[in-house]
Amino acid sequence: MSRILDTREAGFAAAFRSLAEARGATGGRIAEDVAALLEDVRRRGFSAVADATARFDGVQITPQNARRGDADTRAALDALPAALRGALELAAARIRAFHEAELEPDRFWTDDAGVGVGWRWRAVDAAGLYAPGGKAAYPSSVLMNALPAQVAGVGRRVMVTPPRRARDNPAILGAAHLAGVTEIWAIGGAQAIAALAYGADPIAPVDIVVGPGSAHVAEAKRQVFGHVGIDSVAGPSEVVIIADPATPPRWIAYDLLAQAEHDELAQSLLFTDDPAHACAVLAAVEAILAAGDAGAPARAAWQAHGAVIVTRGLDEAAELADTLAPEHLQLALAPDRAWRLAERIRHAGAIFVGVHAAEALGDYIAGPNHVLPTQTRARFASGLSARSFQKRTTLVAADAAALAAIGPAAAVIADHEGLPAHAGSLRVRLEGP
């Protein structure tokens, strides 16, 4: 059974810190192995991708058999059970609508000095979308990665997914059709990231690579960053829940295990101010696990990384949760209490407010993106959005009067910085032709 920690006990701070830092370490050879594979693909192109796919996936690919076309995705969508297709269509509509609302118009105005300033947003030309194929296949992730790119105006939207997933899971291809993916390649792993970043004829390079994957995929994204953009280097998934005795223990237990069943490194933490409630939730977790009502990785993840933390009050729980900057924060409380705590939180990838706002809604159908910063990166990062696929270009316009108003000050600063040509480019205009 997972641990119960109490903030009033001696040694809590050290135990809590250990709990927060215990996950995500990868083998020392991963970075080295990935670097070698990236360089091989950079040098040899598709031949290196094919060799890696044969080695790691046991599948022989060619430029012809690795490509999936519109007819394949349409057939996959048409073959889905009606209930699943309807659910994916509803999710797609909601995700698209949310990301459309993110887009604000370009702006340009003339300030008091007569200088025109503003900005405009333009989409990248091409985006690479990684659909993972490890312990599970997630059509929801296809929607979450591809739809914001489509909404942003990206013209070429390229999905890669391991060959067995492309073959065995029609929901992946069906979701790609719903999300407007324009190009699909049945390749996965670090070799797929290399092909997207550097190109591997006939695969042309892209400008940004997004989507979750294995430790090797995450490391490959880290190493290609700078040559291309990336969404983030995703770590193991996590949820922090704050609840009180008014929320049924079985509800909370399912919420904890919903995160734990992603993989063995996932983390689920509950903060409660009632010891009896803590024990009741632990008992409910064990009952669900014993009944086999959670995915295979759930028990290992829960036992290794899960915990229930008893606090002096909910304010202390919110303070501790904020230090974790969790990917998901679930406030399973009455609305007034939940919103009050939500206002205190500065760092979280997504916040779920109220007892009925299960984090699983966000995974599939609420509308906001489920690609979120992990491992405290919510301190400085945001989730995937339509803006992730756009760049902002600032605009400056000035006539002679505007230059006269602010140019002399700019020249003084240039003089101080020892850059005479900077100052000269301003003063020659101030002096006139």
Active-site residues, by number, are 327-328
Closest CA to 260 of 131, 135, 95, 144: 135
What is the spatial distance between Cα 182 and Cα 129, in angstroms, rounded to a whole number? 11
What is the spatial distance between Cα 67 and Cα 71, in angstroms, rounded to a whole number? 11
Contacts of 63 (CB under 8 A, 6+ apart): 46, 201, 202
| Contact criterion met (CB below 8 Å) for 89 and 365 | no
Partners of 271 in beta bridges: 242, 309
When computed from its CA atoms, the radius of gyration of the chain, rounded to whole angstroms, is 25
Q: Which two tokens stand for residue 432?
A: 């006139």
What is the spatial distance between Cα 316 and Cα 314, in angstroms, rounded to a whole number? 5
3-state secondary structure 123-181: ECCEEEEECCCCCCCCHHHHHHHHHHHHHHCCCEEEEECCHHHHHHCHHHHHHHHHCCC
What is the spatial distance between Cα 388 and Cα 347, in angstroms, rounded to a whole number? 19
